[in-house]
Amino acid sequence: MSSPVARAAAGADAPQLTISNVSKHFGGVRAVTEVSVDVRRGELLSIIGPNGAGKTTVLNMVSGFFHPDSGTIHLGERDITQLAPSRIAELGVARTFQNIALFKGMTVLDNLMLGRHVRMRSGVFGSLIYWGLAQREEVKHRAQVEELIEFLKLQDLRKQPTGALAYGLQKRVELGRALALDPDILLLDEPMGGMNQEEKEDMARYVLDVNEERGTTVILIEHDMGVVMDISERVVVLDMGQKIAEGTPEEVKRNPDVIKAYLGQPHGTGANHA
């Protein structure tokens, strides 16, 4: 991974993603209130906070599953605030979910191939007319998926139904399906949730490798503070839908508002929503 100094020298510290004063309400529940975050190209940024702080809602707005009630989201200079999830995916933003969202009756290989669908140009109609073109395209995408299978050490499991895999391996396949999009920005929603310590260490290594070796910008939601503090360049802290702190892991750990939030003395008085 290039260092922050090297990225700055290359002009890479200009925001790749700009979240500006976004708010989201669900009925009378204020899930997120005027949250702003700039994400630099190539960084690994974590968003943390107590349950119900609004972390997943922020990711849902970035990926287009929710649209903000107010505020804007820009990918570079492009306004993506009201775009559909499929269009945002096409622009290079991929994500995983808190709950595994794989097709469990399909093989590992087929699940990863599905992750390539937004990069496939021939389509069903084109496949019927230009069979040779579609076949060559599939061979190309299959080669990229095989590279991912090797990267994630899933070689012996490529033909296994994902539903038959251990939980930690299913999480790894879900990471692979997001990576199959070949994203510029990867949104990870609790990728280590429910894992044992060994599985967490494996996943943390893969997340770091994605960021360092592939240069992918990573936005991570994770409850394991040990992992967050070990691998993050920068941390944003939400509580009751508001941003209460932002900085390096060391700065955030010392922040009195963060300490209060995690001791059960929340900042602000709004209702909460995850």
What does 244-268 look like in DSSP terms, one character per residue?
EEEE-HHHHHH-HHHHHHHTT--SS
Domain residue limits at 134: 101-182
Say if CB 182 and CB 214 are below 8 A apart: no
- The rounded mean pLDDT for the chain is 86
Domains of the chain: total: 2
Same domain, 207 and 194: yes
Separation CA 205–CA 183 (nearest Å): 18
| Shared domain check, 167 and 249 | no
Q: How confident is the model at residue 118 (pLDDT cuts 50, 70, 90)?
A: low
Pairing of strands 217-221, 185-189: parallel
Q: Convert the pLDDT of each residue in 168-213 to its tens digit.
A: 999 999 999 999 999 999 999 999 988 999 999 999 999 999 999 9
Nearest alpha carbon to residue 183 among 93, 274, 58: 93
Render pLDDT for 35-66 as a digit per residue (tens, 0 to 9): 999 999 999 999 999 989 999 999 999 999 99
Same domain, 162 and 238: no
Pairing of strands 29-40, 217-221: unpaired
Average pLDDT over residues 216-234: 94
Task: Clarify whether residues 176 and 190 are in a common domain.
Answer: no
Asked if pLDDT for residue 271 goes beyond 50, the answer is no
Q: Is the domain of 239 the same as that of 157?
A: no
Assess whether 221 and 269 both reside in one domain.
Answer: yes
Looking at the structure, tell me whether residues 237 and 256 fall in a common domain: yes
Q: Is 148 helix (H, G, I), strand (E, B) or coil?
A: helix
- Same domain (yes/no): 121, 251: no
Report residue 126: phi and psi, to 5°.
Answer: -65, -35
Q: Which SS3 state, helix, strand or coil, does residue 249 take?
A: helix
